[in-house]
Structure 1
């Protein structure tokens, strides 16, 4: 046996000796690579003296969603290795950050090492090699701390800690990859213009890859305008503007109206350390989400579909030629055709600068004024033409000397260099100079620009009074005809519903039973290009879906009546809400909900699918919410722990956005009047949806408040002026929202403070704790470990502002959202509630228990008469 082994060894030595040096080197490198892969391990912390080499990875802790390691993005060039962060369990591999993108490793054993100065280095060879390998990339950290550690947090940020206990948690963050992005924006990142110290401004840019397989810096970069306009730009080759977002209007960028970014958690904030405004976003649900600047300059938002584990495109800019920066030149408006091609037209009062080029389709030279402004030739009569659905031009300037639209108009009118203006409550007065750059006619949105024109270009009446009279008469006749048809149509619908209601009051007259088999269409309500349709179901179909209102299908009950789970053929699940005959909420509430909610469409409002009006049955059919209502989680000792702070904050923000839509952004201005935990439903991703609009009321455009002698709502959630005087407004909903926020934070019902020594309501108790610097004691113990105490305390502060006694002292919902979105905005001190309802003696409590004019629980009140 020994002889055979010796001969075999001799043969191997002869074979090795006969091989070329290049073959030998290749074999050694391959052997080293295989050894490293065979020994592949991962860790969640890198410390001084450790090194990361191919086959070994650093994973995020504790989620293990992200992973750092060496990876060849180009399968055709596997020897070109980059240090990358990618999603750990998603295939194909999706890279979100690259360190040495300008200098790939070409050796078989590159490494990541941490120096004794806290500096991360990517080396083109082992860190412990005799000869120091080339440095391909460095974090340029220079610290004198100790106990350096490198970790990836759950958001995908690679961080260097120093000066802590050596566990990566106790020390300061010396370096953060989120401050040095590549092409991908993840939740938690900030896009800003930084001003470190007193030095020059430093832009934080998201730079595209050179190609889909080459992570080296490409031609396109996304960032915030360094001039301070707050707009986002995509630049090509460093300085050429390729795309512009438009100004921020409070919930979105003007140039992106069809996908509200605020609803995706995208929002602006002010950070003095960053030197101004920055934008960031937090995922509003549990799905993974990322923004990526592609090699062709497209900024695209992807969301991971949980079922298929595939990335779905939910947002993309630019998506047509009109979104390319200033494609039509100055003073011209771009309209996108069906195929995405641009069509340019000069604005009213302007003409092509070079007619031949314009007619040939070369619009880059833009347009110039035709007749001059009156102020330019010492004449008067200049005015403004409204241009609707327009992306506001670039290079606006803020007029800070005015406080309303009239002042903004006059400021532009009196400045001959002003060519247009816009006034909004969020942005104030914006004005533009003589040239208007990058105008795009949007397919949707209510953004209006006031264009300054001479009197000769403004619309005017014909001088012949007879023609004017005839034209007026024709218009009046058409309007009257339209109003009559509209009134007649409304009467037909309301008449059908009223006839059904009258039949329910006459149970013996079954022959008058109404069975509506067709849909009621609200043709005047169109959103996203589709008319909203309210289906009317037959009672037999509802009974079949709910197994004849079986108790096994019962989901719960409220003031309206029981709610059942229904399943239609095909598997569609719905929630069926059945009006009880003895329900305190009756015909008015049913009618109100059918007519009102069918006109409201928002991601944070529950969707009404249809109704059934047959005989004595009055039924509403809603989309099914698998997680039921918020109170089922919030006040259940078993389920409370499932609501960590992240979920609770998402719920608070979602409720606020739903109220923002009701109070300001919907076609109808609506006051809900019964906002409470049981009326907040939760979908499969725990996103909140406001429900139960039976008590809601529509405000007119100029109405600020109403007075009613029929007070409806729920004890503990009603504002003082509404409960005692019957006065309600949008500020009534703000009060209810504040109570709801306190419930979400404390995990206690608003009415659970009866008999408390100091207060009978949650508002009074919370204010007392806050005033005594004990606000942290309000935090629900089941979420204390998962919460940011600072953020929770700020939400308590905001809630106390919302529950102030006087309506005019409460912030409106847009202000509330602004307070929640920016930690840097200072909050005013809330006033102490005067209606803290001090504890009463047992006899008083006993007598009040016999008072049946209202409910102390969560059942809605239906009839309290105010003064």
Structure 2
């Protein structure tokens, strides 16, 4: 009865409201049309024409359709793939680049044999002939069950597929752009199980408005050296990347290159090839421009505009063989190339050389000893050098001694290099395309006759003697200056103590070396020097409304942190040392001197300090989103951190640690890495803060032993917590714990009583070992995250929290693990953490005194 009544009512409504039916049908037609225009698939027998496009799903990143590259010639149309929603249109692939459609009615069709065709309807307009074929994928093959279909992926890949897999892929036939997910090989890739039959090149457009193949093409060395080249007009080498070291190319002075996901592989189908996987955003691309420049663009999240983050060649010495063979190129202050012959060589044509024509380069003078039947040849190390072209890999040589001997015994060998990642590389008697790098520590061992080496050693000895004399004079001057300063300082202190209490005197006199305005001229990331300002206490009070509780941002082991506003309107974070914090003068001085010298986008910036009476205050840049733990462990804010943001935070912390451990001049171990010490700026970019516990490593030091253990429970590595030994691997351990906190959304110490595990690391390993790692993921991100990526991060975190420091990867290796899909070693079970209660019980022994302040613990160790 109910069903019949429903039908009766609908029929009555339909008969009385025919207009409603018309509107409903019109709505359904519009919906169907809209669905058709936003599909990502082209079926056999169908075509794409006019303004219709295919849109990638599910994220709608890319679009396929016809477009006019030159606004002055709107009738010249090309089939292309471009980023959807970015203005102006950014095209990443073009099909018919050598044959534009001119009829105004082109179409894309997929034949029954699986062939994509771009057709021009010019001849078919008047019905006299078939449309003209402008381009074809050349993939005709018998159709499998289910047939073929063409689809556009969110990666930007246009594919012809069947249920058996891809038959054709635009990534195998690139134009001028390298996108994330592309392979770069000598021979173009093809369907699974076999390579393509054409050479793989990324060829520039003829001009900014003409997609026709231009003069420049980028590809891999067909001789198998693994280097990337840009050729001009076919065979003329325009630029060379240099050899691959395992993390970057020798000739590309871009430190984060390997962070962007370049990995080298070698397989039976493709041979030696690279795979590019963007690690931070899919909106990143490399393009070969019409002028021959290889450039990397990235979209700014704030403005959705492309910004240049890298380009090559970027200076006069990066053009191939700028100085000819056996000569070194150096960029002068005017930006022009300056050529000098290598040691033991002289210009081949003096007149041309003096006139600035260096194409002929230099020739040996004197000859090698082996060339004139004499002995005594040796090697001169040349540092910061882009290794020459045409190297030979000595696969049978296992160490540097063997590599040196191999080159020495071969009179045709002109230089050699040996590293653990590249093995033994040797060169012939022509050393081509050498230039001096601004960064890097790449050394070339140049073969020279004994006479040239003796001259070099004599000059070196003279330089050493002069340096020693100058050093002695400087030390004497410093001692004299110190003695005079000490007498003056003592007089000032006696006068000061006569007017003030002894307590204030002792504290503030120790700060005289900080209370001056300190200027640091170290090289920093933005190329500028930074000056540390000293503020008065009155200014700090005015900035924070007399340290009002309403301005209080939080409180840590050091003391409270307030929001302040300087007279110019700049917002700052004011960190005030608490008298009973347990962290006193030593930590304060350490943080002021240390962090002021460290400048990196993933480190918080120290703006100034205040030392007055008993007050010790630090002034930082203001982080509007406070610290990571304010989001990660706050139920009201956790959902604001989706997996994409969490992964970006993991990567940002890793980049900050990479700078501290390897790329900064100081080589710093943080020692207190935790969620509350990771601050977030307005764009949720992470910045490592709180360097009061940090220590500087010098020279060849790999670890320290301290009798004062500082850090936070749950983050400290076993060797540090129990033996006082710390190194860069101690920070790696803390970083591993931090990754697990970011994934789970739970504090490390919250697992203290969970299934007999001391902390999060032991529990995570147990879940991973039992194939339950997915249960670790924060339920708020479990549905939307990339499960494969999250589980890989869990795996990396477990490697970072290994019991023994030498079993943990270093930060550069961790970054490579995060940015690639390479296989990972299996972690060992964290036995020390699973027996945590036994370890914890030993801390009550009479030989150890432990003090815990807030979330920071300090342990004093004494010998038994």
**TM-score normalised over the length of structure 1:** 0.84
Q: Aligned partners of 2:680, 2:591: CA distance in 1, in Å?
A: 20
Residue 111 of structure 1 aligns with which residue?
Answer: 107
- Report the CA distance between 1:739 and its aligned residue: 1.5
1:863 aligns with 2:855: no
Task: Tell me how far 1:515 sits from its aligned partner.
Answer: 12
Q: Distance in 1 between matches of 2:315 and 2:289?
A: 15
Report the equivalent of 2:385. 390
CA change 1:610–1:162 in 2 (3 A) is farther
Q: What is the alpha-carbon distance in structure 1 between the residues aligned to residue 246 and residue 591 of structure 2? A: 30
Note closer, same or farther for the CA distance 1:645–1:406 as it changes in structure 2 (3 Å cut): farther
Alignment of 1:411-810 (within 5 A): 411-458=406-453, 460=455, 474-483=466-475, 506-507=503-504, 519-523=517-521, 530-810=528-808
Contact 2:328 2:435 in 1 (8 A): yes
The separation in 1 between residues aligned to 2:255 and 2:402, in whole angstroms, is 32
1:316 matched to 2:311? The reply is yes
The equivalent position to 2:230 in structure 1, one of 229, 234, 238, is 234
Residue 214 of structure 1 deviates from its aligned partner by 0.7
Cα distance in structure 1, aligned partners of 2:506 and 2:829: 58
Q: Which range moves more in the overlay, 97-106 or 775-784?
A: 775-784
Counterpart-to-counterpart distance in 1, 2:400 and 2:542: 57
Match of 1:57 in 2: 53
Closer/same/farther in 2, CA of residues 463 and 282 from structure 1, 3 Å limit: closer
Deviations 1:768-820 (A, max 9, x none): 12222222222222222333333333322222222121222222223333333
Conservation of the 8 A alpha-carbon contact between 2:322 and 2:358? yes
SS at the partner of 2:788?
Answer: helix
Which whole-Å CA distance do the structure 2 matches of 1:39 and 1:677 have between them? 47
Residue in structure 2 matched with residue 7 of structure 1 by the alignment: none
Structural RMSD (CA): 3.9
How many correspondences in the alignment?
A: 812
Structure-2 change in CA distance of 1:468 and 1:704 (3 Å): closer
| SS of match in other structure, 2:51 | coil
Q: In the aligned structure 2, how far is the partner of 1:756 from the partner of 1:636?
A: 21
Match of 2:5 in 1: none
The answer for the alignment partner of 1:167 in structure 2 is none
Distance 1:56 1:559 in 2: 61
Query: What is the CA–CA distance in structure 2 between the aligned matches of 1:735 and 1:683, rounded to whole Å?
Result: 25
Q: Deviations over 1:444-501 (max 9, x none)?
A: 444332222112112548989xx989x86653231133446678999989x99x9999
SS in 1 for 2:814: helix
Aligned to 1:345: 340
3-state SS in 2 of match to 1:391: coil
Bigger drift between 673-682 and 828-837 goes to 828-837
Output the CA distance in 1 between the equivalents of 2:549 and 2:281.
33
1:295 deviates by 0.9
Moved more, 130-139 or 732-741: 130-139
Q: How many angstroms does 1:128 deviate by?
A: 11
Query: Equivalent of 1:137, from 110, 115, 135?
Result: 135
Q: Are residues 737 and 417 of structure 1, via their aligned partners in 2, closer, same or farther at CA, if it must alter by over 3 Å?
A: farther
Question: Is the counterpart of residue 332 in structure 1 residue 315 in structure 2?
Answer: no
Q: Specify which of 231, 235, 243 is matched with residue 247 of structure 1.
A: 243
Indicate if the aligned counterparts of 2:755 and 2:763 stay in contact, CA closer than 8 A: no
d(CA) in 1 for partners of 2:473, 2:817: 48
Quick one: distance in 2 between partners of 1:124 and 1:487?
Answer: 86
When residues 161 and 371 of structure 1 are mapped into structure 2, their CA distance, relative to the original with a 3 A threshold, is same
Unaligned runs of 5+ in 2: 1-32
Say whether the 8 Å CA contact 1:158–1:178 is kept in structure 2: yes
**Greater Cα shift, 126-135 or 750-759:** 126-135
1:376 equivalenced with 2:368 (yes/no): no
Aligned partners of 1:190 and 1:461: how far apart in 2? 46
Match of 2:211 in 1: 215
* Equivalence for 1:152: 152
Cα distance change, pair 148–558 in 1 and its aligned pair in 2 (3 A): farther
Given that 1:504 and 1:617 are in contact with CA atoms closer than 8 Å, whether structure 2 keeps it comes out as: no
Q: Which residue is 2:825 aligned to?
A: 827
Cα distance in 1 for residues equivalent to 2:760 and 2:482 = 44
How far apart, CA to CA, are the structure 1 residues paired with 2:451 and 2:564?
64
- Secondary structure at the counterpart of residue 659 of structure 1: helix
Contact in 1 for aligned 2:524/2:598 (Cα 8 Å): no
Contact persistence 2:524–2:599 (CA under 8 A): no
Q: What CA distance in whole angstroms lies between the structure 2 residues aligned with 1:118 and 1:198?
A: 18
1:812 to 801, 810, 813: 810
Q: Look up the match of 2:183.
A: 190
Query: Aligned partners of 1:828, 1:490: CA distance in 2, in Å?
Result: 56
Question: Using the alignment, how far apart are the partners of 1:530 and 1:202 within structure 2?
Answer: 48
1:726 to 1:339, Cα distance in 2 relative to 1, 3 A: closer
Aligned partners of 2:706, 2:242: CA distance in 1, in Å? Answer: 43
Summarize the Cα distance change of 1:114–1:623 in structure 2 as closer, same or farther, 3 Å threshold.
farther
> 1:606-638: CA deviations, max 9, x gaps?
222222222222122223333332222222333
Moved more, 407-416 or 203-212: 407-416
Are 1:714 and 1:858, in contact at CA under 8 Å, matched by a contact in 2?
no
State the shift of 1:443 in Å. Answer: 3.6
**SS of aligned partner of 2:748:** coil
Range with greater deviation from structure 2 (798-807 or 207-216): 798-807
**Which stretch of the first structure deviates more once superposed, 554-563 or 128-137?**
128-137
CA distance in 1, matches of 2:456, 2:315: 39
Range 216-225 or range 535-544, more displaced: 535-544
- Inter-partner Cα distance in structure 1 for 2:523 and 2:316: 30
2:116 aligns with 120
**2:277 & 2:493 partners in 1: Cα distance?**
51
Q: Which moved more, 1:435-444 or 1:409-418?
A: 409-418
Structure 1 alignment gaps of length 5 or more = 1-37, 164-170
Question: After superposition, what is the alpha-carbon deviation per residue over 1:653-677, rounded to whole angstroms, capped at 9, x for unaligned?
Answer: 3322322332233222222211112
CA-CA distance at 1:508 after TM superposition: 8.6
- Cα shift readout 1:565-622 (whole Å, capped 9, x = no counterpart): 3333444333222211111222211111111222223333222222222222212222
- Pick the aligned partner of 1:75 from 71, 75, 88: 71
Q: 1:725 to 1:488 in 2, by over 3 A?
A: farther
Q: CA offset at residue 826 of structure 1?
A: 4.5
Query: Contact between 1:117 and 1:144, CA under 8 Å: does it hold in 2?
Result: no
CA contact under 8 A between 1:601 and 1:607: conserved in structure 2? yes
Asked if 1 retains the 8 angstrom alpha-carbon contact of 2:801 and 2:830, the reply is no
My pick for the range that moved more, 68-77 or 51-60, is 51-60
Is 2:525–2:600's contact at 8 Å kept on the other side of the alignment?
no
8 Å CA contact 1:678–1:858 kept in 2: the answer is no
1:358–1:275 CA distance, 2 compared to 1 (3 A) = same
Alignment partners' CA distance in 2, 1:672 and 1:436: 43
Query: For 1:864 and 1:454, how far apart are their aligned partners in 2?
Result: 59
For the residues of structure 1 that align with 2:335 and 2:811, how far apart are their CA atoms?
37
1:436 to partner: Cα distance:
1.0
1:495-518 deviation line (CA, Å, top 9, x unaligned): 99x999999982499998979886
Residues 511 and 648 of structure 1, relative CA distance in 2, 3 Å threshold: closer
Is the aligned partner of 1:853 residue 2:846? no
1:43 aligns with 2:38: yes
1:94-121 deviations in Å (ceiling 9; x for gaps): 3222121121111221112233344332
- TM-score norm. by structure 2 comes to 0.84
CA contact (8 A) 1:117 1:145 kept: no
Residues 265-297 of structure 1, C-alpha deviations (whole Å, 9 max, x = no match): 2422436464334141415369x4332211111
Change (3 A) 1:137 1:713: same
